[in-house]
Amino acid sequence: MANQFDYDVIILGGGPGGYVAAIRAAQLGLKTAVIEKENLGGVCLNWGCIPSKALIRNAEIIGILGRGREFGFNFENLTVDYGVAVKRSRQVSNRLVKGVGFLMKKNKIDVIDGFGVLNDAHSIQVEDKAYSTANIILATGSSPVVLPGMTVDGERLLTYRQAIVQDKLPGSLLVVGAGAIGMEFAYVYNAYGVDVTVVEMLPHVLPNEDEDVADVVAKSFKKQGIRTLANTRTEAVEVAETGVNVTLKNLASGEEELVLVDQVLVAVGVRPNSDGIGLEKAGVASDRGWVLINSVMQTNISNIYAIGDLTGKLALAHVASAQGMVAAETIAGDETQPIDDYMNMPRCTYCNPQVASLGWTEAQAREQGYDLDIGQFPFQVNGKALGLGEREGFIKIISDVKYGEILGVHMVGPEVTELLPELSLARMMELTPAEIARNIHAHPTLSEVIMEAAHATLGHAIHT
């Protein structure tokens, strides 16, 4: 790299994309710095993926305790303390954030605190100091979208950012948006006794997932006491002294309903954190704020790269990390694996039952004109699932009749987020269901359902 610059690469943003890019760049011998305005680890470690999973674990335990008779135990006067759950989630988060700080020091990466702004293609300003660099990786992430006319106050109206740290729960909650974030919070709050309603404007909850999967989750939520309203739009939100008045409209019938809740959680999507970071000064092209990239994360400016939520590809931490590695390797001139296909990135939702998927849904595959072999196998006849007392759900494998190519995988049930890697690896290595079916799976395990679903695509599942 040229010696006229302070750094070989500066990463703007220290989230799961930025800090991974920094580590990989440093491993490849590049002099590296990360500029972070708030917290290393970004939203994922501090306000999203990690603390929410700690809270979900608490909710799972409460669910098991509530089924005590089934397992042969009981409690008298059982009490649960949500404040302790939040405290534990912060401890988990802080531990991992400290770990990222340690990795920065270990890899001799400079961490610059502050809000960075591009001066040009080779300079970033942080307060009164400019840092020069041969290459830049933009990793500034995203922020939650708020409904028009709505002001988040942290008391009545919230996004995940406020919800993840509040240690006192409302009596009732309306969740606007039935994607992963909305469904996970709905599950946790309901477990602690909150009266929860979830509203989704699209035809079914988890609108990006296969409809059969969404149906299982919706039915399970109903059993748990969570009301889900699909095909329903939030027309108006009015904060009152006694709570929040929300007008809902059923898009099929046109009927309106007025509900009064203590809090509203908005989880309808994200917007790019691209305002005010100097894209125009550096000449970086964007579309409605989303930075445009090629398959190696390069923008229209050859030495500037962008990764993570900022690119609008798929707002998931593991996607950002994968992009970060590709960007760092490309800058270093090392061998890398360009990313052209985001459809086959793994997708996970951690409510109960869990959801995990990759590739096309059945409807999408048919729209593409494929003739399909579909193998589906339920957890209710799986020995390990029965032993766990977790019988809901299934695994569905969608493949192309002509070549046996796996087009999509859709799972709903116990720990399916842990089962997905076998199938994402199979998809990457272009394995067919026939080869997965012949791969011997240990017994008794949940993973046997993958094997049985693979057999089912061939027309001969064993245990059904």
Active-site positions?
443
Say if CB 382 and CB 446 are below 8 A apart: yes
| DSSP per-residue codes, 364-431 | HHHHTT--EEEEEEEGGG-HHHHHHT----EEEEEEETTT--EEEEEEEETTHHHHHHHHHHHHHTT-
Helix (H, G, I), strand (E, B) or coil at 439: coil
Number of other CB atoms surrounding residue 455 within 10 Å: 22
Instruction: Say how far apart CA 165 and CA 90 lie, in whole Å.
Output: 8
Say if CB 213 and CB 303 are below 8 A apart: no
Say if CB 112 and CB 131 are below 8 A apart: yes
Say if CB 46 and CB 14 are below 8 A apart: no
Instruction: Say how far apart CA 232 and CA 88 lie, in whole Å.
Output: 35
Residue 353: asked if its preceding bond is cis (omega within 30°), the reply is: yes
Instruction: Say how far apart CA 201 and CA 179 lie, in whole Å.
Output: 11
Those residues whose C-beta lies under 8 Å from the C-beta of residue 336, and which sit 6 or more positions away, are 296, 325, 326, 329, 330
Instruction: Say how far apart CA 83 and CA 96 lie, in whole Å.
Output: 20
Say if CB 49 and CB 351 are below 8 A apart: no
DSSP-H helix ranges across 72-137: 82-106
Q: Which backbone phi and psi does 328 adopt, to 5 degrees?
A: -65, -45
Those residues whose C-beta lies under 8 Å from the C-beta of residue 240, and which sit 6 or more positions away, are 260
